[in-house]
Structure 1
Amino acid sequence: MLHPLILAILAGLASATGFAPLNLWPVTLAAFALLLHLVRRAPGMKRALLTGWVFGVGHFAIGLNWIAHAFTYQDAMPHAFGYGAVLLLSLFLAVYPAIAGGLAWRWGRDHRTAYVMIFAGAWIVTEWLRATMFTGFAWNPLGAALVPIGSLPDLARFVGTYGLSGFAILGAGMVWLFLRGQPKPALAIGIPLAILSVLPKAFSTAPDPDGPPIRVVQPNIGQQDKHNEAFDAINYNKLAGLTGKPGAEPRLIFWPEAAIPDFLEEDPFARQRLASLLGPGDTLLTGGLALIGDRQGNVIGARNSLFALTSDARLIARYDKAHLVPYGEYLPMRPVLSAIGFSRLVPGDTDFWPGPGPTSFSLPGFGRVGGQICYEIIFSGDVVDAKNRPDFIFNPSNDAWFGRWGPPQHLAQARLRAIEEGIPVIRSTPTGISAVIDADGRVLKSLPHQSAGFIDARLPAPHAPTLFARFGNILPFMLAMILVGLAVALRRTAR
């Protein structure tokens, strides 16, 4: 018989296979059922916490393996640092599953059904904490593993992604209770889950007619060529060629994050060159860089930005990325870390500065757009300007860093944002996966990883604001409180 801690780390490793690209969600539910079993059988609080932590180390080490791939493009540091980064990050993030397990053990271990409910409620809260504390790292919430399961992810429009993660724990708890010879409590959890899984269909409405024509460009420019000046002309020609000729109707054209090296605000020639690709009424949305200077004109920072350019070479909007990637776009404690050999992953010595947060802009003829650049799209409840709700979200990204596991995981989380907010999401990336996602989270069209091409489509229409769009992450917190309240009632009834 294997030691419980060995079983815990093996279960953690297996649990990560439920996320894209493998999508083995039954394995994930089984692994979490084993976690529930191991934590409850822990002889004390310390062992319960350690069991949850060991499980978390395995869970994150596999799910976040793509981070190691990012280091292969940065020659300022040894590439082997990438594997150390994955391990160190996993050791830290595992604290949150440990806390959830400890709370469930402390307050619910004497009643199995109550224990499952407390674990689910605690998981909701700790997952939200993981997404917010110390700048937050919201990647791969457990609810993302449920995206391939029919209409189940549609529940995110009512309880958000963190609430969906709580339902995943309840599903694992149902499996555990059934295997422990308690079919009635298992059905008491399973039947409401089954009803809830079809509930969103009862609230579905007929989709509105689609909007104007759009073109999403994916040039397949590898990270090794992106910041190489010798490839600037080649890269531009790829983007220009895939943009195509003007059509009979004005088009909205999408280019990826940091698609061009030119500083559009300072370079009128660069604006004219881009405008020459556009037909009358066309608008280009492209990623680029904005410089920040001091009063003496010295460059002291930069912003990772999204620009809207019209066919007459006017910049009519700019969005600045707010959720920057630590160690990717800026180096925390730069004087200390740079002295011992660390560097940020994006080339250059000038750190990026964050923007003010979600902002919507009107594009004549195309409606209101909200920008979310790359990594920002993973933050549930923080992607939309609530006072000026957009008609769609543009998520330009550069997933060329992230190997084969990162891009499909990124896409799954973008789909959850569309479901939560009831707003279409358009993704354009250099190497994939670019996609047109409707307001129900369905991928209407996409381009595969490491391929060049374009998507021609109509801009999907938004839905009316969802319940989650109105109330945000107060809803998963309410769900957590309801679960804990039910658990308390069950324990009192049993006594």
Structure 2
Amino acid sequence: MTEVRKALLDNQVQALTRMAMRRPALLSLALGALSATGFAPLDLWPVALACFALWMWLIHEAPGLRPALLRGWLFGTGHFAVGNSWLQHPFLYQDAMPHWLGYVGVLLAAFYLAIYPMLAAGLAWRLASPRAAGHSGTKPGLAYLLVFGAAWIVTEWLRATMLSGYPWNPLGVIWVPVIGIARIAAWTGTYALSGLTIVVAGMPILAAGRRWRAPAATLAILALLALSGIHREASRTLVPAGRPHIRVVQPNLDEEERPTPDYAENSLRALESLAGTPGAHPRLIVWPEGALRFFIEDGYPVDYYWNGSPVAIRRRIAALLGPRDLVLTGGNALQFDGAGNLTAGTNSIYAIDAKAAILARYDKAHLVPFGEYLPLRPLFTMVGLQRLVPGDIDFAPGPKPRTIALPGFGDVGMDICYEIVFSGQVIDPAHRPAVIFNPSNDAWFGAWGPPQHLAQARLRAIEEGVPIIRSTPTGISAVIAADGRLLDSLPLHKAGTIELPLPQAGAPTLFSHLGNWMALLVATAMLLLAVAFRRSPR
């Protein structure tokens, strides 16, 4: 009876293989597109795992390196076209370019980003597929999955660093809804977690080959980690009482996407209306990126101050504060050359106290190409490709991530918007902060961009063991604990505030000590294990 069941299973696997081989290129594209549903806001991570499993089977069965590379590239094209579909949204608010160009932009970005899954697939096929050695009919083994996982780690890290880097939606972020598994990133970091996810996704391939012990053990471990996360979520208190308070403001600025001439004043009034009342606890009031549209530094030509002097604006802000309160707000600064000509701006954070003094300023270091500056400006301007976010000048980058000591609140790390998605690059390693402030402006990025941004911020909190405070004009604003839990959040397109005691940092994690060296260590360990499994007797 057992032999009959094995024969039936073999027949089913062979039938599935024949069906897949009829249209492997089209199936790869479809699997890639469907796999993107594993990311926020859909969070269909089981679907993503199944898609990756079938895709890895297709790569294993490729008759040569070129077909393997093609299947990898097509999978990546579908994966990134759907996952990054929100990139089309900013074109709706940039009248200098046709709106349909947004769809072309999404596809062009996907064509480029698909190179990295293509390389991972090619490496896995070349190094671990029996067909590369001239054999056929051999089922995938654990060594193949380990090599694939290692290749994915390397190529995902390359995607995060090449050409200024674009690490949006690393595969490991699909585990954020299953927080117990996502917390593995405290040891491994995100890119290594992505590689481990590849191995987990491929376990059904082994089960199809009757190697059931490894898949069963893996599923049991994942279940225990998931249950552990649920238990910790339910049992741990939020934050201790008696600490200074954080007040997160989300004004839901309905003019954010298409500002009017009165936008700067309307925005400041919206922020003032949500400032609250000073109380017994010192408050760190945080405002979003892009919400304060007045220049508040002294020394600019008068024409640049619009309808409010910098001192007057700072005094309006200070009037909202108790004697121990501070405001952290996104804002902009200007840079001039020696002749007084405007040369660039900065995307900045300001700390303002109750005496209307600017205590500190941080300038964003990792700028967004085509959003905050235009690469090869003369060329792209000539062909009509201006910045996606309206503006006449480019931003200039500031120094690397910085920690600023704020009186009464301790050491606060600064990361503006997109900077928070760069694993291993969000804090000053020489000056570990107690909390990270991440003002962001996701108003242009539709319904998918903001929840994906939030999920990646939660992974940064887990990796570094540091809580993160996010304030955005239109959502999603949140207070994230050092272990990745959402202590509170405000949904999209809703005005409101969050006020909580300032969360505490956790102990430094292994990843916070080693950074992305962990990706190299895990990838190397996978390759060594793959060699060991291939040499061991079957």
TM-score (normalised: structure 2): 0.88
Could you tell me which residue of structure 2 aligns to residue 214 of structure 1? 246
Could you tell me which residue of structure 1 aligns to residue 183 of structure 2? 154
Alpha-carbon separation, structure 2, partners of 1:84 and 1:303:
29
Alpha-carbon separation, structure 2, partners of 1:456 and 1:207:
13
Equivalent AA in structure 1 for residue 202 of structure 2 = G
Within the alignment, does 1:252 sit opposite 2:295 as a pair? no
Contact 1:167–1:193 (Cα < 8 Å) also in 2: no
Within the alignment, does 1:93 sit opposite 2:105 as a pair? no
Would you say how many aligned residue pairs link Structure 1 and Structure 2? 494
Could you tell me which residue of structure 2 aligns to residue 479 of structure 1? 522
Task: Give the match's secondary structure for 2:532.
Answer: helix
Contact 2:451–2:476 (Cα < 8 Å) also in 1: yes
- Identify the match of residue 332 of structure 1 among 369, 375, 383: 375
Contact 1:66–1:406 (Cα < 8 Å) also in 2: yes
Unaligned runs of 5+ in 1: none
Could you report, residue by residue, the CA deviation over 1:438-459 in whole angstroms, capped at 9, with x for unpaired residues? Answer: 1011001000111111111111
Give the Å deviation of 1:416. 0.3
State, as a whole percentage, how many aligned pairs show the same letter: 54
- 291-300 or 352-361, which moves further after superposition? 291-300
Give the Å deviation of 1:493. 1.7
Within the alignment, does 1:231 sit opposite 2:276 as a pair? no
Alpha-carbon separation, structure 2, partners of 1:270 and 1:237:
11
Determine which structure has more spread, i.e. the larger CA radius of gyration.
2
Alignment of 1:297-376 (within 5 A): 297-376=340-419
Alignment of 1:134-213 (within 5 A): 134-187=163-216, 189-190=218-219, 209=240, 211-213=243-245
Contact 2:332–2:346 (Cα < 8 Å) also in 1: yes
Could you tell me which residue of structure 2 aligns to residue 423 of structure 1? 466
Contact 2:239–2:502 (Cα < 8 Å) also in 1: no
Contact 1:222–1:400 (Cα < 8 Å) also in 2: no
Alpha-carbon separation, structure 2, partners of 1:431 and 1:468:
32
Equivalent AA in structure 2 for residue 17 of structure 1 = T
Within the alignment, does 1:133 sit opposite 2:159 as a pair? no
Equivalent AA in structure 1 for residue 108 of structure 2 = L
Could you report, residue by residue, the CA deviation over 1:235-255 in whole angstroms, capped at 9, with x for unpaired residues? Answer: 221111011222222210000
Alignment of 1:368-387 (within 5 A): 368-387=411-430
Q: Which segments of structure 1 move beyond 6 Å, counting only runs of 4 or more?
A: 195-202, 204-208
Alignment of 1:47-126 (within 5 A): 47-110=67-130, 112-126=141-155
Equivalent AA in structure 2 for residue 12 of structure 1 = G
Contact 2:257–2:444 (Cα < 8 Å) also in 1: no
Could you report, residue by residue, the CA deviation over 1:415-470 in whole angstroms, capped at 9, with x for unpaired residues? Answer: 00000000000000000000000101100100011111111111100011111001
Contact 1:120–1:170 (Cα < 8 Å) also in 2: yes
Could you report, residue by residue, the CA deviation over 1:43-75 in whole angstroms, capped at 9, with x for unpaired residues? Answer: 000011111110000000000010001111111
Could you tell me which residue of structure 1 aligns to residue 53 of structure 2? 33
- 387-396 or 229-238, which moves further after superposition? 229-238
Give the Å deviation of 1:258. 2.0
Contact 1:57–1:93 (Cα < 8 Å) also in 2: yes
Could you tell me which residue of structure 1 aligns to residue 275 of structure 2? 243
Go from structure 1 to structure 2 and tell me whether the alpha carbon gap of 1:173 and 1:225 turns closer, same or farther (over 3 Å shift).
closer
Alpha-carbon separation, structure 2, partners of 1:246 and 1:117:
56
TM-score (normalised: structure 1): 0.96
Could you report, residue by residue, the CA deviation over 1:217-252 in whole angstroms, capped at 9, with x for unpaired residues? Answer: 000013555632223222221111011222222210
Go from structure 1 to structure 2 and tell me whether the alpha carbon gap of 1:325 and 1:335 turns closer, same or farther (over 3 Å shift).
same
RMSD, aligned CA: 1.9
Task: Give the match's secondary structure for 2:41.
Answer: coil
Unaligned runs of 5+ in 2: 1-18, 131-139, 299-309
Alpha-carbon separation, structure 1, partners of 2:537 and 2:125:
17
Task: Give the match's secondary structure for 2:42.
Answer: coil
Task: Give the match's secondary structure for 1:328.
Answer: coil
Go from structure 1 to structure 2 and tell me whether the alpha carbon gap of 1:355 and 1:223 turns closer, same or farther (over 3 Å shift).
farther
Could you tell me which residue of structure 1 aligns to residue 336 of structure 2? 293
